[in-house]
Structure formats: structure tokens, C-alpha cells
Structure 1
Amino acid sequence: MQYDSNVQNRLRRAQGQLAGVLRMMDDGKECKEVISQLSAIRKAVDRTMALLVASNLQQCLTEERTKKPEGGNPEKVMEEAVRLLVNSR
């Protein structure tokens, strides 16, 4: 699977935020501030996962339709995508 540069950029941004949280902890910042930043990181990663599953679903559905003459089994692909999202929490 090819990954969109948008997805990779989102993860790099989250990586930078996480490095910032580690600096905050080293600097002895208040717990409330650290938790707030961690919450923002979690939200960013959750959104990235949803974007990744959505684009993966689209790609898988397209592949499923083209590789099988009868159109494949798009329901199976969608069930797997939903399972991925549900299990991610």
C-alpha cells in the first residue's frame, strides 16, 4: 500500500508534539499542561488512523472489484475496516 504524504505529515507533526511533551516533562511543567498536550496528540493520531483506514478502505474496495469478475466481496472489506477502527481504541 502506498501512504499519502498527508498521513505521513500528520504523523511527523504528532512525533514533534510528543518530543515537545518529553521536553515539558524534563522541564517539570505542570501535569495539567502535559495531559493537555498528550490529549492533543491522541486526537491527532486518532484522526490520522481514521484517514488511513478510509483511504485503505477505498483502495481495498477498488482492488476487490477489479480483481474478481463478479465484483468481489466489498462487505468483507468494509467489515474489516470497521473492525480496525473499533479495535484501535
Structure 2
Amino acid sequence: MNADTKKRATMRIKRIAGQVAGVQRMLDDDRYCVDVLTQIAAIRSALDALGVELISAHLETCVAGHGTGSEHRCAKPMSQEQLLAEVRAVLARFLK
């Protein structure tokens, strides 16, 4: 993941953490259930957007750039079949 992607992801996750803390405050304040559920839906949407951004970055750098030196430093050497299997597994987990 490049520095720009990491910065955007970090900013997003901090916003999401704030939203989760807000839900906790709503529960502590005994807020109306529908309002709490609306905030939970917003958190799920924000997590999905973060996931899409990270998957896109992975596809651009680690998959399309496989073998070019642009992969993440922790990426394992893989054959094309292994790489595709990894992408399928990640997508299957993400889309559940």
C-alpha cells in the first residue's frame, strides 16, 4: 500500500472509530433504537468503502504489479494461480 492510500485508510478508520464511539454514547444515553440502527448502517457503509479502497489498492499494487517490485514488502512470492486463489479468498470473505 502506498503512502497516500495508507493516509486515506487511516483517516477513514479514525472516522469509523469515532462513529462506533458515538453509537456507544447513544446506547449510554438510551437513544431511540432507530437512530442507533441508522448509525450502525452508516458504520457498515463506511467499513465497506474502506474495504473497497483496500481491495483496489491490493489489486493495483500486489496483483497487477506482481513481480515488478511494486508489491507490499510483506507479500509472499506466489505463482499466478496462488495469487488468484488469494484474491478469490479475500473477495469471498469481504463479500459475506
Q: Which has the higher helix share?
A: 1
Higher RCO structure, 1 or 2 (CA under 8 Å, sep 6+): 2
Q: How many Å separate the matches in 2 of 1:75 and 1:11?
A: 32
- 1:77 corresponds to 2:79: no
Alignment-derived partner of residue 48 in structure 1: 50
Alignment: residue pair count = 84
Alignment match, 1:36? 38
Name the structure 1 match of 2:16: 14
Q: Structure 2: which 5+ runs fail to align?
A: 70-77
User: Could you tell me which residue of structure 1 aligns to residue 75 of structure 2?
Assistant: none
Give me the TM-score of the superposition, normalised by structure 2.
Answer: 0.73
In structure 2, C-alpha distance between the alignment counterparts of 1:75 and 1:54, rounded to whole Å: 19
Gaps of 5+ in 1: none
**Is 1:57–1:77's contact at 8 Å kept on the other side of the alignment?**
no
Which residue is 2:68 aligned to? Answer: 66
Percent identity (aligned): 32
- Say if 1:17 and 1:41, in contact at 8 Å, map to a contact too: yes
TM normalised by structure 1 equals: 0.78
